[in-house]
Structure 1
């Protein structure tokens, strides 16, 4: 088993989970800042946004997890602040980040759809990298399987949890997001393919479909009315993405992504 602690800085333990998130964040910021000038957005606006959004996204991720896991915290509320013991949810972070983005773009007089379009693929690759934090922590895994001989040895060994091999759902989601990221990079260069906002809507549908399927394989998810909470939210993302796509496609005055 791989030690979840990468190294020590005195009394402070630096975990692979944290390094995975930070690596994904740095790459996301770099790619967004590089793409921003194509939409007449300053790279400094991207940097300023992340200074607000990242800490609030972490808080949002924790709040989301606690709300849907209240039974384990109600008798010991101080544990709510013990983030180092695990317990954050990506959907909470995405929601918090989206709310910050709405406020930020309006305050800076930036078109919200344009900012979302440069951010969406960057978020996707950040999620792809960040999922490896679950690998190091041996969490977000799936059902028991007979063997994982098709996987590299270091992944297979790490997926041996509680006496059984487990479906590496972290890997499935990581690869799904990576594929979506690559598709966006290829397709957004094609003239008059995406209209303004449609890269974001592609992200919502792509991520929502993949997350719904993969979440169904997991055994450690929060449940609500017969489905996992994340599956309900995935359906919501897909529905919102498709409705907005159909609505905006009918609008003649919406520019294409590459138009200046």
Structure 2
């Protein structure tokens, strides 16, 4: 007896006037937007323009959809080329039937074309995109729920999914293992593992993507064993099970033998210097003005415009002709500090020269950072796009030699 079950939607399409809005396609679209958003933020942290994520998606998504459909049709040809099949159903992707293995292969091929076009590292992009891709897969799996497809064995568990009569594989059995839910939860766990590993134990370039493939295929292996939908078999196992085993072992091998540099995150200042992050507004300094009104009221009436002029220009530039204190008189109020009084040895000129030299060095160093955004040579090791500034054109931080004052 079934005590509880997850209900299935009564329909998977909503009509907005003459336009049908299919839940299966909507889940894929939402997943793509999430993947692009997450990938863009992670690319920016690695010193790349976040818009690269959407530019690569223009290539990867169409190739991924075509690859997913081709894999599904090839792995289950009877539904389209069999005795009761209809070859025209091949193009009806809104009814379901997208193989994840074809999606990964096709999407990777499209991403490879795009990264070559924009001159960036495919391995670096893959590491940035891996968490977003697995999140998109978690969202896309709910399209199977709307279509009432790709569920598992018959079950009476309280979280079993209830399937309508016309979608039941076993006539008369209405509740089955919700494999779409299992895969969604597993994908969320994988996304969390990838983010934690990338933050605490940054792997070499390309290794995080290999870890994503290994973890996903390991979970897909046991989830695939629960499914009972029609599929081709090799040696008594579904083709998808063999695919999961081969791909998982290949990813683990690549993870073990790959030797590549680590791509650290850029600081906020480096991101702003590259123009890939908005500059934060400078903090406003707060000046305490308590008692100012009382002090002004207590000031003598003789303090006229000359006094105001003196206050505005500061003690170092007081002109004795204006009636203010004489800087030559060490006993007068407001006299110039002893460090700024020139002596016979010319210490004032030396101090001014040193200050000017330090200012010039600071300005040159700032120009270097603004030109390159990151330390010299690190852009090439990151594999940044050609659209970003080259690291070889920075200016020297050594200031020009200052003339000696007499």
Tell me the TM-score normalised to structure 1 length.
Answer: 0.89
Contact 1:2/1:158, CA 8 A, preserved across alignment? no
Q: Which residue of 1 is the match for residue 153 of structure 2?
A: 143
Q: Which residue of 2 aligns with 1:57?
A: 64
1:83 pairs, out of 75, 78, 93, with 93
Counterpart for residue 54 of structure 2: 47
Query: Where does residue 262 of structure 2 map in the other structure?
Result: 256
Measure the CA separation in 1 of the matches of 2:112 and 2:225.
31
Q: What's the secondary structure of 1:143's corresponding residue?
A: coil
| Alpha-carbon distance in 2 for matches of 1:123, 1:22 | 12
2:23 aligned residue: 16
Instruction: Tell me which protein shows more helix as a share of its residues.
Output: 1
Cα 1:216–1:156 change in 2 (3 A) is: closer
Q: Which residue pairs with 1:119 in the alignment?
A: 129
Structure number with larger C-alpha Rg: 2
Runs (4+) of structure 1 exceeding 4 A deviation are 158-162
Q: Indicate if the aligned counterparts of 1:60 and 1:95 stay in contact, CA closer than 8 A.
A: yes
CA distance in 2, matches of 1:241, 1:169: 24
The equivalent residue for 2:349 is none
Inter-partner Cα distance in structure 1 for 2:104 and 2:164: 27
Distance 1:3 1:42 in 2: 43
Deviation of the 1:77 alpha carbon: 2.4
Shift of 1:83: 2.2
Any idea what SS the aligned residue of 2:81 has? coil
User: What is the alpha-carbon distance in structure 1 between the residues aligned to residue 89 and residue 141 of structure 2?
Assistant: 24
Structure 2 counterpart SS, 1:203: helix
User: Contact 1:49/1:104 (CA < 8 Å) preserved in 2?
Assistant: yes
How much has 1:229 moved relative to structure 2? 1.8
List gaps (5 residues or longer) in structure 2: 1-7, 266-381, 383-406
1:88 match: secondary structure: coil
SS of structure 2 residue aligned to 1:13: strand
Contact 1:23 1:129 in 2 (8 A): yes
Q: Match of 1:188, SS? A: helix
Q: Structure 2 matches for 1:46-195, cutoff 5 A? A: 46-74=53-81, 76-145=86-155, 147-149=156-158, 151=159, 156-157=161-162, 161=168, 162=171, 163-190=173-200, 192-195=201-204
The answer to whether the 8 Å contact 2:96/2:144 transfers is no
SS in 2 for 1:17: helix
- Let me know the Cα RMSD of the aligned residues: 2.0
Task: Establish whether residue 239 from structure 1 lines up as the match of residue 249 from structure 2.
Answer: yes
Counterpart CA distance in 2 for 1:26 and 1:55 is 14
Equivalent-residue separation in structure 2 for 1:123 and 1:193 (angstroms): 19
**CA spacing shift, 1:124–1:45, aligned 2, 3 Å:** same
Cα distance between partner residues in 2 of 1:57 and 1:255: 28
3-state SS of paired residue (2:181): helix
State the alpha-carbon separation in 2 of the partners of residues 101 and 237 from structure 1.
19
| CA shift in 2, pair 1:5/1:11, >3 Å | farther
Which digits, 9 at most, give the CA deviation of each residue in 1:209-247, with x for residues without a partner? Answer: 000110011011522312212212211221111111111
Q: Pick from 217, 222, 233: which aligns with 1:224?
A: 233
* Greater RCO (Cα-Cα under 8 Å, separation 6 or more): 1
Which range moves more in the overlay, 233-242 or 221-230?
221-230
Find the aligned partners of 1:137 and 1:119 in 2 and give their Cα distance: 28
TM-score, normalization: structure 2? 0.58
Map Cα deviations across residues 68-113 of structure 1 (whole Å, 9 max, x no partner): 2222322632222222333221211111001111222122211111
The runs of 5 or more residues in structure 1 that have no matched partner are none
Q: Contact (CA 8 Å) 1:117, 1:198: kept in 2 or not? A: yes
